[in-house]
């Protein structure tokens, strides 16, 4: 488990999301994939947010991606990092970056999935940097 | 097409207080209603439609209708965040056109400053369907907007100094507003020297938190014709809700693209026709994105558009938020939509402060962006015209 310097609030499980949290306890991040329209989505739900089909699979992510955007919340003590991370599967999700030198982060930083414990012991999917930055897509600007 | 010609904005009122420890939220709603009625020259008994949003205490409109003692035949408490009152001006006009009511009262009020509510506290409900996937990460409202700013900087080369110019312009306007919470003129360096709240947004990139509120009265044309106030009518309106679905994430444009297009389409007008813009300024980035999305410049050019005083009335090409906006004047109940409509109506009436009054101001936009910009938010756009 990754270290967060202050405790993470716990999610409230529902009958719909219990399976997601069970998978997280087992070290897997699930995302939604629709068998009817073929679109993937996050956060995962049992009604496709593209076509409203209930033929939705929850698939495991390989957990590799890059930072799409981020912010260091400096108002908090200690500061922490919220981010949007784009996974190699094409899913972009809201998360935290942990175990990092926040000042060295950039859009495009390569990250991998780890799990952090919430206050009541839920495994929360978060990300941590792995090595030098790379860029998945083409961008007008640069870091 | 909606028959907007049936109705006019006839009354506005902005509560003068910015800190109200000795007043209840319901009492503040009553005070702004009283003020708007006086401005219009109407009586409480004239009101037969009531519009409010989540800042009104009670279930939907029920408690406030009782508290105010209204006799209404139409109510609407649709809440799309802080832009709700902007949407409700159009909803009121549609209700009047449909014959559902004749005089509609819209109120916003709250006392988050007296209650020391943290900005963004509205978002923390663990039973929302997305909450399990967000609350563990301790989302902060400023960080939500900061991540959009960061991505805009990355994609388009926007700078913190350009964002700071938004605050500088609001401060130039606020110095003339005796009720503004912050009346000191600031420089871009002041903004950049203020503490970082959530990178890249500084303290002075964030709106203020204030108590108080405001109210608007929209009335049927025949009623407005009997009143002694300048007449302001609705030309077009649009609304849109934007969200992310994981595979189509986009942090650099807002629901304002479509709410704006719909308002222009209904009115037959274009950005070039607009003399004044009231736009939601929860954060400096909110203004920059709205200016792009409403078509005042191309996507990515907002940084250059807002820089060097171009939003300052009398100096810049597009005067914005001449009351000082939510960044300097007032952001009551953590919701900025109400004051956007009020200042737009003042401009159209020629009742803005002389130092910031826009010459020949015949067409204005009031635009709102409420919610969490990076995840889900609602935009509402109305185009108002002086008759």
Determine whether the interchain pair A9/B148 forms a contact, defined as Cβ–Cβ distance below 8 Å: no
Residue B261: pLDDT band (50, 70, 90) is very high
Residue B195: pLDDT band (50, 70, 90) is very high
Given a cut of 50, whether residue A97 has pLDDT beyond it is yes
Position A139 in a domain: no
pLDDT tens digit string along B9-34?
999 999 999 999 999 999 999 999 99
Nearest neighbour of B135 by CB, restricted to A11, A40, A71: A11
Q: Is the peptide bond before B89 cis (omega within 30 degrees of 0)?
A: no
Domain count across chain A: 1
Given a cut of 70, whether residue B287 has pLDDT beyond it is yes
User: Which residues lie closer than 8 Å to B127 by C-beta, 6 or more apart?
Assistant: A12
How far apart are the two ends of chain B, measured CA to CA in Å?
20
Report the gap between the CA of A80 and the closest CA in chain B (Å). Answer: 9
Q: How many A-B residue pairs are in contact by the CB < 8 A criterion?
A: 140
The span from the CA of A112 to the CA of B329, in Å, is 44
Task: Report pLDDT for A135.
Answer: 42
Q: With beta carbons under 8 A apart, name residues in chain A contacting B132.
A: 11-14, 17, 20-21, 43
The span from the CA of A91 to the CA of A46, in Å, is 17
Return the higher-pLDDT residue of A4 and B217.
Answer: B217
User: Which residues lie closer than 8 Å to B157 by C-beta, 6 or more apart?
Assistant: A140, A141, B303
Position A143 in a domain: no
- Asked if residues B253 and B373 have their Cβ atoms less than 8 Å apart, the reply is no
Rounding to the nearest 10 degrees, give the CA dihedral for residues B236, B242, B247, B251: 100
Give the CATH number, domain containing residue A115.
2.40.50.840
Residues in chain A: 143
Report the gap between the CA of A30 and the closest CA in chain B (Å). Answer: 12
B250 touches chain A (CB under 8 A): no
For A42, the domain range is 18-129
pLDDT tens digit string along B86-138?
999 999 999 999 999 999 999 999 999 999 876 554 456 888 999 999 999 99
User: Which residues lie closer than 8 Å to B129 by C-beta, 6 or more apart?
Assistant: A14, A16, A43, A45
- Asked if residues A58 and A46 have their Cβ atoms less than 8 Å apart, the reply is no
Position A55 in a domain: yes
- Asked if residues A40 and A48 have their Cβ atoms less than 8 Å apart, the reply is no
Determine whether the interchain pair B138/A73 forms a contact, defined as Cβ–Cβ distance below 8 Å: yes
Q: With beta carbons under 8 A apart, name residues in chain B contacting A88.
A: none
Helix ranges (H only) for chain B are 25-40, 62-68, 84-97, 141-156, 160-174, 188-193, 221-224, 256-267, 284-293, 302-306, 337-349
Q: With beta carbons under 8 A apart, name residues in chain A contacting B249.
A: 68, 84, 86, 92
Mean local confidence (pLDDT), B311-328 = 98
B242 touches chain A (CB under 8 A): no
Other CB atoms closer than 10 Å to residue B22's CB: what's the count?
9
Look at the block and give the residue holding tokens 């400023």.
Answer: B142
Buried b (16+ CB within 10 A) or exposed e, B317-350: ebbbbbbbbbbbbbbbbbbbbbbbbbbbbbbbbe
Buried b (16+ CB within 10 A) or exposed e, A51-83: eeeeebebeebebebbbbbbbbbbbeeeebbbb
Calculate the CA B250 to chain-centre distance. 23
The question of ipTM being above 0.85 is answered as yes
Position A135 in a domain: no
Determine whether the interchain pair A68/B136 forms a contact, defined as Cβ–Cβ distance below 8 Å: no
The span from the CA of A69 to the CA of B149, in Å, is 9
Determine whether the interchain pair A93/B199 forms a contact, defined as Cβ–Cβ distance below 8 Å: no
Lookup: tokens for B273: 């026709």
Position A9 in a domain: no
Task: Report pLDDT for B5.
Answer: 80
- Asked if residues A81 and A72 have their Cβ atoms less than 8 Å apart, the reply is yes
Q: With beta carbons under 8 A apart, name residues in chain A contacting B247.
A: 39-42, 90-92
Determine whether the interchain pair B247/A76 forms a contact, defined as Cβ–Cβ distance below 8 Å: no
Position A1 in a domain: no
User: Which residues lie closer than 8 Å to B313 by C-beta, 6 or more apart?
Assistant: B173, B319, B322, B355, B356, B357, B358
CATH 3.40.47.10 assigned to B4-113+207-386: yes
Mean local confidence (pLDDT), A86-106 = 97
Position A101 in a domain: yes
Return the domain boundaries, chain B: 4-113+207-386
Task: Report pLDDT for B6.
Answer: 87
């Amino acid at each position: 488990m990754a270290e967060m310097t202050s405790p993470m609030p716990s999610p409230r499980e529902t009958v719909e999301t219990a399976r997601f949290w069970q998978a997280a306890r087992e070290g897997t991040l699930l995302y939604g994939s629709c068998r009817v329209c073929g679109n993937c989505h996050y956060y995962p739900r049992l009604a496709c947010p593209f076509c409203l089909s209930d033929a939705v699979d929850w698939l495991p992510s390989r957990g590799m991606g890059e930072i799409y955007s981020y912010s260091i919340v400096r108002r908090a003590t200690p500061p922490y990092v919220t981010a949007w991370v784009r996974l190699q599967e094409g899913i972009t999700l809201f998360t935290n970056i942990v175990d990092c030198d926040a000042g060295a982060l950039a859009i495009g930083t390569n990250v991998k999935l780890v799990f952090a414990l919430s206050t009541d012991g839920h495994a929360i999917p978060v990300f941590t940097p792995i090595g030098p930055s790379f860029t998945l897509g083409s961008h007008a600007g640069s870091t | 097409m909606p028959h907007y010609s049936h109705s006019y904005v006839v009354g506005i009122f902005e509560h003068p207080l910015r800190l109200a420890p000795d007043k209840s939220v319901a009492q503040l709603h009553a005070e702004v209603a009283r003020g708007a009625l006086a401005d219009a020259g109407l009586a409480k008994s004239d009101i037969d439609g009531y519009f409010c949003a989540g800042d009104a205490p009670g279930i939907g409109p029920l408690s406030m209708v009782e508290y105010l003692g209204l006799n209404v035949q139409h109510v609407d408490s649709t809440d799309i965040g802080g832009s709700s009152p902007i949407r409700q001006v159009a909803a009121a006009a549609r209700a009047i056109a449909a014959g559902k009511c004749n005089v509609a009262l819209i109120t916003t009020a709250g006392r988050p400053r007296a209650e020391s509510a943290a900005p963004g506290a509205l978002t923390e409900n663990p039973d929302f369907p997305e909450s399990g996937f967000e609350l563990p990460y301790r989302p902060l409202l400023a960080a939500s907007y900061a991540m959009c700013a960061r991505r805009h900087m990355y994609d388009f080369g926007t700078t913190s100094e350009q964002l700071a110019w938004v605050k500088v312009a609001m401060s130039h306007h606020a110095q003339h507003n005796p009720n503004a919470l912050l009346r000191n003129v600031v420089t871009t360096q002041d903004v950049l020297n203020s503490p970082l709240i959530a990178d890249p947004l500084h303290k002075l990139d964030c709106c203020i938190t204030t108590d108080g509120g405001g109210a608007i009265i929209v009335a049927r044309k025949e009623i407005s014709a009997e009143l002694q106030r300048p007449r302001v009518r609705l030309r077009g309106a649009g609304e849109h809700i934007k969200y992310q679905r994981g595979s189509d994430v986009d942090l650099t444009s807002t629901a304002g693209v479509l709410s704006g297009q719909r308002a222009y389409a209904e009115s037959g007008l274009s950005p070039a026709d607009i003399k004044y813009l009231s736009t939601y300024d929860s954060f400096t980035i909110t203004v920059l994105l709205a200016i792009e999305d409403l078509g005042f410049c191309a996507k990515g050019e907002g940084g250059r558009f807002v820089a060097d005083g171009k939003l300052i009335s009398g100096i810049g090409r597009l005067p914005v938020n001449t009351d000082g906006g939510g960044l300097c004047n007032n952001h009551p109940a953590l919701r900025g939509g109400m004051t956007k409509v009020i200042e737009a109506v003042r401009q159209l009436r020629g009742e803005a402060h002389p130092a910031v009054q826009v010459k020949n101001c015949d067409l204005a936009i009031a635009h709102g962006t409420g919610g969490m910009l990076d995840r889900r938010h609602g935009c509402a756009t109305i185009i108002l015209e002086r008759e």
